[in-house]
Structure 1
Amino acid sequence: MLLRTMWCRLGTPQCLRSTYFHPNLSNLTKQPPQTNTVPSRCFSRSRCLDTHQCTPVQVASPQFQRPKLRQYSTNIATFKPNLKVAAVPGKRIPKGPRTKQPSRTNQPFQAADQMMQCIAFATADQYHLPTLCHDLVSQGFNEVELPRDASNVLLISTDLAAKPDDIAMMFFFREGSVVFWNVEEKTMKKAMRLLEQHEIQPYEVALVHWENEEINYSIGEGNTKLQRGNFVLNSEMDPDEAVLERFAFSNALCLSVKLAIWEVALDNFVESIQPIPEMLKSGKRVKLSRADVMQKIGELFALRHCINLSSDLLITPDFYWDRENLEQLYEKTCLFLSINRRVKVVNEKLQHCTELADLMRNHLSEKHSLRLEWMIVMFELARVIF
């Protein structure tokens, strides 16, 4: 009774007193809700923000309700993020640039009409050059003879040049790469369509156009060189020697684009085995069969074979042994494209993946041995009992 009197003196309305001190609380839910005006200075559930001017507020009665928190209006129906990505039918678009393109900053400014384009693509594991040469010649292209020790390359020339300052050439390397020099876009697309019929294990179209190398070049005075990311060809060079210089540049570009394709393949392999270390770390059971582990090991060794054994990434080709000037152009281009450093990084990743694959193989071998031991024990027990 004393508490009720003190509460009334504080200014609480009769509706609130009846709410908290009703003798029969079970009947409160049956009473219809009432509203009473409560001054904001009262010790009620509503607080006045301005103590000098108390504004009456409406309080529901008799049921007690929690004070509602501030709610922010979020109209989800009107929020439509733009996540459209141009898709190629039947092809998976790469998530992003997988290889780091060489820095081409601080390049000397040259007029656009003086620069021509050299672009390289890697489209397949290998090309069948004899049939490719036959189809290209039948379509009006011209074959250019190369030295005998350059037997793995097909050189094609055409009169349809992008700019009249230089002739148009196409280098087709048997390892699955092609380099276009001053070739107009329409002719380039035509050659690529013909090339599709002679590819062995072709790559995805989106990946081919994503991982390419494009370098501008010009023809000027002085020795042929690589100057701040651009090729500068000697205008007074003998035509046969000029072709070999382009061949040296093209050879380095082909190595770069092929390495870019293998870097993407390695990244995909790393993503496929990424959950395994997390499972081992958390103590979960690794759900991989022996066939899955052997398949992963096979993919790993196939990639390692392509990079370190079947390519010229680790050594300089024999073609440059008695051609020192061409060897310098080749090595400078490889240095500019960071080929040696990229090969080192790839091999370190391959070594880590190999260790993880060996760990999984040993784990499966131990599980198999343990299963055999239990089978032997159960067999012996059954023989003793029965």
Structure 2
Amino acid sequence: MNQASKSPLGGARTTARAFFVSDRLNTSGLERGDVLATTPLAFRVNENGVAVLFRYGVVVLIGLNALEEEEFLRGLDHRMTGKFARRDEEIAIIELAPEKEDQIPPGGPICLQSLSPDRLILICEALAKSVVLARHEREVASVFDTTEPFARELALSGRMRGSRRSILKNIGGALLVRHRVSGPVEVAEKPDVLWDKPHLERLYARLEDEYELNERAESLNHKLAVIAESAQVLTDIIDTRRSLRLEMIIVLLILFEVLVTIYQLAMGRHP
């Protein structure tokens, strides 16, 4: 990792904003000599700004105004795969406080001893994971909203009235969300910066606590397990319905054959 030794920012207080813009972001070819880091890719923008790009579709911009942010994101359009119609955002205020330890007071800004690239990248790592979790939490909640009526009806009546197609659509939606949420973002994974700068682990631990990254990831994984179980139950219901239809057809065929046999016997006795 190639990093500069001094802060890339000009002031003592700045804003970091994370944008979850797409499923994937191609960062190949953006590397240059003045990069602050390569994993994730971080570099200076304009005079006092910093951009940090994550391959799983998150862009974190520090020290840029709204117009500069929009211009920068537009420049990445051709690098986005699966661009979202609605992007998720998360913001953090960063303040230089050289007389204090790195800390995050309740309801206050993130206070740093220095605005070094290492510290800024750790903040970007936490923001990026948080904004991804926020989107996935919303998607998982939508799946729960669609499966809840099926579960309620099954609990009340012991059967499900939905058509085979509607059940299959529900299963497909559940599996799609499960696949997307179980994607390339490993919340518990240690940022690369910490391997070179272990003294910053306390700062990152505070960021994890502030954004409740581990707790949210654990809750999300639990809900994904419930989604998988729900999809399996719906699949079993479809299989059961199909088996019942086949059994009914077989019974009707047997009954028809019995009736034909009885008719033939009756006709044989009365020529």
Q: Residues 212 and 143 of structure 1: is their aligned pair in 2 closer, same or farther, counting only changes over 3 Å?
A: farther
Contact 1:321 1:327 in 2 (8 A): no
Shift of 1:318: 5.3
**Paired residue secondary structure (1:203):** strand
Cα distance in 1 for residues equivalent to 2:56 and 2:190? 15
Identity of aligned residues (%): 21
- Counterparts of 1:259-298 in structure 2 under 5 Å? 259-283=133-157, 285-289=160-164, 291-298=165-172
For residues 63-82 of structure 1, what are the structure 2 equivalents within 5 Å?
Answer: none
Instruction: Give per-residue Cα distances to partners, 1:131-176, cap 9 Å, x unaligned.
Output: 6x39xxxxxxx7633556x2xx32231234xxxxxx2101111111
Q: In the alignment, is the contact (CA less than 8 A) between 1:225 and 1:233 conserved in 2? A: yes
SS in 2 for 1:116: strand
1:143·1:156 contact (CA, 8 Å) conserved in 2? no
Identify unmatched segments of 5+ residues in structure 2.
1-10, 262-271
| Paired AA for residue 194 in structure 1 | G
Q: Give the equivalent residue in structure 2 for 1:200.
A: 81
> 2:113 maps to what in 1?
234
CA displacement, residues 221-247 of structure 1 (integer Å, 9 cap, x when unaligned): 257613314233334x8xxxx212211
- Summarize the Cα distance change of 1:318–1:217 in structure 2 as closer, same or farther, 3 Å threshold: closer
Q: Tell me the residue number matched to 1:370.
A: 244
8 Å CA contact 2:125–2:191 kept in 1: the answer is: no
Query: CA 1:265/1:329 → structure 2, altered by over 3 Å: closer, same or farther?
Result: same
Q: Which has the higher contact order (CA 8 A, sep 6+)?
A: 2
Please say which structure displays the higher CA radius of gyration: 1
Q: Does 1:126 align with 2:24?
A: yes
Q: Please give the root-mean-square deviation of Cα atoms over the aligned residues, in Å.
A: 2.7
Task: Tell me which residue corresponds to 2:94.
Answer: 217
SS at match of 2:41: strand
Q: Tell me how far 1:334 sits from its aligned partner.
A: 1.5
Structure 1 residues 287 and 297: CA distance shift in structure 2, 3 A: closer
- Equivalent residue pairs, number: 247
- TM-score by structure 1 length? 0.57
Rate the CA distance shift 1:302–1:310 in 2: closer, same or farther, 3 A: farther
- Report the Cα distance in structure 1 between the residues aligned to 2:172 and 2:187, rounded to whole angstroms: 21
* 1:70 counterpart residue number: none
Asked if the contact 2:95–2:110 (Cα under 8 Å) also holds between the matched residues in 1, the reply is yes
Q: Which protein is richer in helix relative to its size?
A: 2
1:118–1:340 distance in 2 versus 1, CA, 3 Å:
same
Q: TM-score, normalised by structure 2?
A: 0.79
**Are 1:350 and 2:224 an aligned pair?**
yes
Partner of 1:187: 68
1:254 is aligned to 2:128: yes
Write the deviation string for residues 287-328 of structure 1: whole angstroms up to 9, x where unpaired: 131x54444334334433444452111332455345312333
1:93-145, CA deviations, whole angstroms, 9 ceiling, x for partnerless residues?
xxxxxxxxxxxxxxxxxxxx8532111111111111126x39xxxxxxx7633
Distance 1:326 1:294, change over 3 A: farther
